[in-house]
Amino acid sequence: MDGWDEGVVSSTLWYHILTAPLLVSLVVKGDTFAVSTKLTTPTYTKVTGGQQTFLTKRTGGDAVFTSGFATRSRVVTEDLIFDHGIIQVVDSVLRIPEPLEATARFAYRDLSIFFSTLAWNGLLDEFTSAKDVTIFAPQNSAFQALVSVLGRMSQDKIRPILRHHLVPNSIQHSWEFLNESAVRAADNTPIHITRSNNSIYANSARLVHADILLSNGVVHMIDDVLSPKPASAQPDVTTNTGVSPTGGCNFHITCTHVGGPPTDKDGDNDSVRAPVPAESGKVAGAGIGAVLALGALLGLLIGV
């Protein structure tokens, strides 16, 4: 192990141990849910109860764990019982979720303007240091459509808008969102949730990539910039290419919304929850599979 960070290796191993027994064979096809792991090291996670991974049981019957940078690990042998729990054998090493900065820089570059805007306005620490956060992050095109408007705003006006994209102290997964419900943002105003035609909206913005794991929670990529005024803005769900009811992008700029979420070959929409990221850089957890797996299969220890 010469040359490898022992902390990264150790934390990666803890990330492969779940906190509660799980029989994959009992999971309903088409279901997705979060499971907590025994990774609790503050250096690598700020998620209460242990960093999470997602388990999806595809409609075809395959079970897949999703981890940081949308890394997918397919269960190749399930429910091996041993004295201290259950082993799920997977075909690749799970990756520890990264902070927002690394995720935006190396995996989801369509979040780079959002990240840069947070940094420029002095809000990066609030978004990255807090525990158990849910972030609604506009993709680059949403900011580009508003550059002439935002460029005229002072930081005092921009900061409340950006803070409206942060839900503190509550990890909200897409499958937990209820139609006509609301979550409360850091600026103490509600973000209204709408579900329609297999799409999920936050105010008038559609979730285009949901449930991206972060070291301190999850981020949902959206196609619009949220505004706390009017906080009650609702999407136009009568067509798959509806325009924001507030004039487009919440700031009276036309912004055509793309249609419903894509489906993969299994027809279960898990590609929306875990899109293939861009090429990653050398950040925590990168390349650990070569050391730990050595081309073999790694098991998830459950309930040990």
Asked if 43 and 58 sit in the same domain, the reply is yes
For residues 268 and 5, the model is more confident at 5
Examine the pLDDT at 15 and tell me if it is beyond 90: yes
Domain with 227 in it: what CATH number?
2.30.180.10
- Which of 38-47, 75-84, 179-188, 258-267 has the lowest average pLDDT? 258-267
Decide: 213 and 54 in contact? Cβ < 8 Å: yes
List C-alpha distances in Å: 61 to 56, 64, 78, 198, 268.
10, 10, 12, 21, 11
Q: Classify residue 294: in a domain, yes or no.
A: yes
Asked if 91 and 105 sit in the same domain, the reply is no
Asked if 114 and 237 sit in the same domain, the reply is yes
Helix (H, G, I), strand (E, B) or coil at 296: coil
Tokens describing residue 267:
């027809």
Asked if 268 and 209 sit in the same domain, the reply is yes
Asked if 85 and 149 sit in the same domain, the reply is no
When the pLDDT of each residue in the chain is averaged and rounded to a whole number, the result is 81
Q: For position 267, what pLDDT does the model report?
A: 43
Asked if 152 and 201 sit in the same domain, the reply is yes
Examine the pLDDT at 1 and tell me if it is beyond 90: no
Examine the pLDDT at 228 and tell me if it is beyond 70: yes
Q: For position 300, what pLDDT does the model report?
A: 64
Q: Classify residue 170: in a domain, yes or no.
A: yes
Q: For 46, which DSSP code?
A: -
Asked if 49 and 116 sit in the same domain, the reply is no
Closest CA to 199 of 114, 277, 269, 274: 269
Q: For position 301, what pLDDT does the model report?
A: 65
Q: Classify residue 278: in a domain, yes or no.
A: no
pTM for the predicted model, two decimal places: 0.80
pLDDT band at 151 (very low <50, low <70, confident <90, very high): confident
Q: Classify residue 174: in a domain, yes or no.
A: yes
The stretch 216-233 carries a mean pLDDT of 86
Examine the pLDDT at 121 and tell me if it is beyond 60: yes
The packing angle between helices 155-163 and 112-120, to 10°, is: 130
The stretch 245-263 carries a mean pLDDT of 30
Question: In the chain, how many domains are there?
Answer: 2
The stretch 46-57 carries a mean pLDDT of 98
Asked if 264 and 131 sit in the same domain, the reply is yes
Q: For position 299, what pLDDT does the model report?
A: 56
Tokens describing residue 5:
């960070």
Q: For position 253, what pLDDT does the model report?
A: 27
Asked if 20 and 137 sit in the same domain, the reply is no
Report cis status (omega within 30 of 0) of the bond before 230: yes
Examine the pLDDT at 12 and tell me if it is beyond 60: yes
The stretch 227-234 carries a mean pLDDT of 68
Percent of the chain with pLDDT over 70: 75
Asked if 55 and 79 sit in the same domain, the reply is yes
Instruction: Say which amino acid occupies 98.
Output: E
For residues 280 and 139, the model is more confident at 139
Q: For position 170, what pLDDT does the model report?
A: 97
Domain containing 268 equals 100-273
Q: Classify residue 293: in a domain, yes or no.
A: yes
Closest CA to 178 of 156, 202, 160: 202
Q: Classify residue 245: in a domain, yes or no.
A: yes
Decide: 249 and 146 in contact? Cβ < 8 Å: yes
Closest CA to 304 of 79, 34, 17: 17
Asked if 297 and 186 sit in the same domain, the reply is no
The stretch 85-90 carries a mean pLDDT of 96
For residues 83 and 210, the model is more confident at 210
Helix (H, G, I), strand (E, B) or coil at 278: coil
Q: For position 277, what pLDDT does the model report?
A: 42
The stretch 166-191 carries a mean pLDDT of 96
pLDDT band at 92 (very low <50, low <70, confident <90, very high): very high
Q: CA angle, 14 as apex, 295 and 285 as ends, to 5°?
A: 55
Q: Classify residue 1: in a domain, yes or no.
A: no
Range with the largest mean pLDDT of 146-155, 204-213, 264-273? 204-213
